[in-house]
Amino acid sequence: MGLDSVEILVNVENAFGITISNYEAEKITTVGDIHNVVWRHVQGRQSMRCRSQQLFYKLRYLLINKFQVPREAIEPDASLNDIFPKKNRRLKYLRLKKELQLKVPELALPAVWGRFLMVTGITLIAGSLALALVLIYGYGYTPWLYVLPGLGIISTVFISNILDAVRTEFKPGLVKAYTQMVLAYNYGTLMTNKSIGRQEMEVIINHIVAETAGLDLHEIAPEKSLTNDLGID
């Protein structure tokens, strides 16, 4: 078994949290053999880790094939803020959300705008409350205690909505953290069945083989020989 095959098996082990024995590895000659070995290890097991890996490879596949992001740029510790240039980032993110068909984190305000909104909100609400107290003690009109602070809150929300156009930052920014956040947002949907299915497992493995060997996903099939058909040593 060559270095490429070993790397594939290591990535598979990491993805599913299993250990493939040397005896099992020596028997692997096709993609289907990998499927069978892994299935014996994961059948009926909890699948949180598998779901996370599935999401990662789905995200990676979309970025490569739909957004022409270089394969080597997409790693768990890569920054989405680097992967997606700021120009047209919001439009591209809308496309990504549509392709993923899952609930995803919204883009956040850049730090400078976030601080501006926080300071503005505190100033408006605190100023409104202070003015309300002055009017109450000066004129005895207690409804000001509710009206003015309420207007301060409404104004802050209004300004926040106006700033939607400048929400362009990924938070969390790293691919790994983003994947985990998406999994958390969609936990009820993705984790309806606690054990991973055979088809889901095969999809994850096929992605790993394709990504590790630098092949197109459509080239990966159970009957394909790693060496003779796919050129993996």
Closest CA to 157 of 120, 115, 113, 109: 120
> Which amino acid, residue 61?
Y
DSSP letter assigned to residue 214? T
DSSP letter assigned to residue 75? -
Q: Helix, strand or coil for residue 221?
A: coil
Q: Is the pLDDT of residue 28 over 90?
A: yes
Q: Is the pLDDT of residue 105 over 80?
A: yes
- Over residues 113-153, the pLDDT tens digits come to 778 878 888 888 888 877 777 777 777 666 666 676 777 78
Q: Which residue has the higher pLDDT, 133 or 26?
A: 26
Distance between CA atoms of residues 61 and 78, nearest Å: 15
- Over residues 50-86, the pLDDT tens digits come to 677 778 888 888 888 888 888 788 888 899 999 888 8
Sign of CA dihedral 220, 202, 34, 12: positive
| Number of Cβ atoms within 10 Å of the Cβ of 148 | 22
Residue 175 near residue 80 (C-beta atoms within 8 A) = yes
Sign of CA dihedral 8, 11, 16, 17: positive
